Chains A and B, each alone.
Chain A
Amino acid sequence: MTTYLLQRLMSAALTVWITTLAICFLIHLVPGDPVQIMYAQSATTSPEQLEQIRHSLGLDRSIIHQYIIYMGKLLQGDMGVTIRGQQSVAELLLLRLPNTLLLTLSALTLAIVFGGVSGFIAAYKQGQWPDKVLMTGTVVGISVPPFWLGLIVLSLFSVELGWFPVAGQGLGSLVLPAVTLAACQAAVIGRIVRSTMIDVFAQDYLLTARAKGLSKPKVLLRHALRSGLIPIVSVLGMQFAYMMGGAIVIEYVFSWNGVGRLAIQAIFQRDYPLIQGFVLCFSMIVVLVSVAMDLLYAFLDPRIRQE
């Protein structure tokens, strides 16, 4: 287990390190002089000021030197300042991050609940109409683009029925974006749970449990469902990463004031420090969550621990 833990942590650290390299050099992929692009919008920035900015960003030094400066600042929590408004990138991201996490974690919870339940029912009723209906539903869920689904959901539940607000930051405003974001992932989880549960239902230990006199619901919930849910954990890390990506689009559609919407704005504004900060922040979260999920998986499944 310790070896496994160390391996996972090492590979996570490696991923984050590679990301920092990519981010630091990202600015050199920008065609032309990045400082000019960044600051030309200020009609009044003089060549001397540009030189000063170039120096403060370390862009007048060698790439290795720049990376060392970048990492030095990063380790102190300094991600630079935005071009528009000269705000601290780290502060701006931290201010918005709770909103994005609230959205993605709510969506993940919904996806697990709906995906888990529908997968379980589909497996239990394998080949019968509930299975067919649910599995058709999952195909639709996987195929529909979240952007489009978001607009449809808005038009139905906000405009036509008036149940939820179109935008805002309250709990009521969270429902539609979370459901939209969850839809696709719930479908994926549903399919995984179904195939796992079909295997589990064929296992002899369920028969043994029944033979020992346990009631059917008890057998299903305690013995079948428990082992059937383990594979969900294995895909949760990946699903969460997809959700963080999906949140960018969903936040835009539902005017949810999270990091994703900030990123879109930064991209249109060519605000490079903010884009860099966003990429680093998102990749760190995804790496951390996937490590946590791997560890959870190892904790739940003794076979992994022994390996």
Chain B
Amino acid sequence: MTKSLSLLIAIGLLTGPAMASNDIIWARYGDIDSLDPHRTTSTLSMQVWNQIYEPLLARDAEGNIGPNLAKDYRVSDDGTQVTFVLHEGIECHDGSEFTAEDVIYTYQRAFSETNPSNTQSAWGPIESVNAVDAQTVSFSFSEPFGAFIPFMADPFASMICKSNEQSLASFGSTTAIGTGAWQLVQWIKGDRIELARNEAYVNHGRMAGNAGPAKMDKLIIKVMPEAQARLAALQTGEVHIAEPPLESVSVVENHPHLNLLSAPNTGQNVFIEFAVSRPPFNDVRARQAVAYAIDPDMALDIVFEGLVEREHCTVARGVMGNDQDYCKRIGYQYDPAKAKQLLAELGYDKRNPMDVKIMTWTDGSRDKLLQVFQSQLKQVGIEVSIEIMDIGSLNARVKQENHITEGKGSMDLMGWSWYDPDILYQLWHSPGAYDGYNSPELDALLKQTRLETNPEKRLEIVQQVQAYLIEQAVHVPIYTPGWVWLYGVNDSVSGLKFEPFNQPIFTDVVVN
């Protein structure tokens, strides 16, 4: 027995930390939900499928939109016709040529009657999509839709090759054919995703400086749920890139062989929203009481120690309408007395406290933030229980809570990342992403944000929408950035870049 034990240890010593020299190893806290861009909205999934597929257009570091799979696009004068001209000779991972038919296939999947895309409404009021010729495709709209062009540069509008049709049952899990710089080798659920370099890749507009295939052979994306273990693996060099635990960021900063990178322009916005289908949050005073009772500045300082910023607007930094001074002016300042007064009006007091729950998703120290809020809310007489779940389940639960008409009140700390004020339409125009708050007045305002093509006028309407959402305490902004925006990177790694909205690009990466 002892012999075999020493043998075991000896083997352990011999095998030690090992990795292939031409691999990039990236560790994250969780796994993807799917490799089908129409089935999931999680950042963890999107960051992976954004390596496999590509949108028609792309953004530069400043967020400006330029060509990618499409070398050119035209918008008709009345704004109801958008035509894309595709580059010739782009190959899908299975060797088939990428043409207008693939664009139509992607659109048809997104608008499938039985199983449409989770972000279908972002495509806008499309009436039809037609192939003019093999390289030209034209989208027709029932009315002008200003957010379409920015959407075509977003990973949610990734182009899916038609050849996926041949393996539809396994699409998104064991097969995923796109035109991106990396192609799927395998996804071992809960453990890792292996991508291999697409040898036929030509970069037509992505942020990489490299015009051809990626410089490394493989990109291995590992799941390492325990934050300290992720940090340890980063320290030993076992993984090259990993999100450090927020409380140990200084370990990365002070480590001789590690660098801390922060993804710029994440577009992330973390906010509180409420289930308005039942008391107490169907009454604006209850929602306002929460907004007055919490002190986000203090809570963020305690939990994040300067790693995040207070957000006052309902749209993210860098997006039209994000004006901190304006939003702060119309927002809520910490005022427990005011909160107590509103609660008293609703009939709550110390003997009869408001009893509600708050939900959020795992990781990113959000649980700690909610604990601080919990104690702040308790001081004004709001008893809060906390529920933590993964982001997919949170999306589900929020929607479900909005259908429940009895029982404990519910609110949640939610995060969204979007490139355009159209996010407000998707969240709050009836029925909305979560079937939550809506009103005819808000619907009318949101509709105008889509129809207005003059930027100045559009901004004016967006600000009216923000004022409405904040005044009604429907969408209470808290902080930014919110999730997986920090990257601990081994100093053997060079060339890691980030497209806007926290999309790492590995085509230029070299590991020495």
A interface with B by C-beta (< 8 Å): 32, 36-44, 84-85, 87, 92, 96, 106, 109-110, 113, 151, 154-155, 158-159, 162-175, 252-255, 257, 261-262, 264-265, 268-270
Contacts and interface: CB of A to CB of B under 8 A. Distances in A.
Given A40-B400, A167-B229, A255 B235 contact: no
A40 B435 CA distance: 11
**Nearest 10 pairs of A and B residues by beta carbon:** A41-B396, A172-B15, A40-B396, A166-B233, A175-B12, A268-B390, A172-B12, A165-B17, A257-B191, A255-B224
Nearest to B231: A159
Given A44-B116, A96-B190, A159-B236, 16 more contacts: A36-B400, A38-B396, A41-B393, A42-B118, A43-B118, A44-B115, A44-B117, A85-B173, A113-B1, A164-B17, A165-B18, A166-B224, A167-B229, A170-B15, A172-B15, A175-B12
B224 A167 contact: yes
Interface in B196-255: 222-226, 228-229, 232-233, 235-236, 238
A155 B230 CA distance: 11
B223 A255 contact: yes
B395 A268 contact: no
A172 B11 contact: yes
Interface in B378-431: 388-390, 392-393, 395-397, 399-400, 403-404
Nearest to B39: A42
Interface of B: 1-2, 5, 8-9, 11-18, 27, 30-31, 33-34, 39, 115-118, 120, 173, 188-191, 222-226, 228-229, 232-233, 235-236, 238, 362, 388-390, 392-393, 395-397, 399-400, 403-404, 433
A109 B15 CA distance: 21
Given A44-B116, A109-B1, A253 B390 contact: no
A166 B16 contact: no
Given A36-B403, A166-B233, A268 B389 contact: yes
Given A154-B229, A170-B15, A255-B229, A159 B400 contact: no
A32 to B, nearest CB: 7
A165 B16 contact: yes
Contacts of A268: 362, 388-390, 393
Contacts of A155: 228, 232
B118 A32 contact: no
Contacts of A264: 225
A44 B403 contact: no
B364 to A, nearest CB: 14
A22 B323 CA distance: 55
A158 B232 CA distance: 7
A151 B396 CA distance: 33
A301 to B, nearest CB: 22
Given A162-B16, A252-B226, A261-B225, A43 B397 contact: no
Given A84-B33, A85-B189, A166-B233, A171 B226 contact: no
Nearest to B34: A85
B189 A87 contact: yes
Task: Give the residue among A85, A96, A173, A255 with the most B Cβ atoms within 10 A.
Answer: A255
B11 A171 contact: yes
Contact of A163 (B12, B18, B115, B120): B12
A84 B117 CA distance: 16
A171 B229 contact: no
Task: Give the residue among A38, A41, A42, A84 with the most B Cβ atoms within 10 A.
Answer: A41
B188 A165 contact: no
B231 to A, nearest CB: 9
Contact of B9 (A37, A175, A252): A175
A262 to B, nearest CB: 6
A165 B189 CA distance: 21
A164 B16 contact: yes
A270 B1 CA distance: 42
Contacts of B228: 151, 154-155
A257 B236 contact: no
Nearest to A106: B8
Nearest to A147: B226
Given A44-B115, A113-B1, A159 B235 contact: yes
A43 B392 CA distance: 11
B415 to A, nearest CB: 15
Nearest to A166: B233
Contact of A265 (B5, B16, B27, B31): B31
Contacts of B390: 265, 268-269
20 contacts: A37-B400, A39-B396, A40-B396, A40-B400, A44-B120, A85-B34, A87-B189, A109-B1, A113-B1, A165-B236, A166-B229, A166-B236, A168-B238, A170-B15, A170-B18, A171-B11, A171-B12, A172-B15, A262-B190, A270-B397
A270 B15 CA distance: 37
Contacts of B15: 165, 170-173
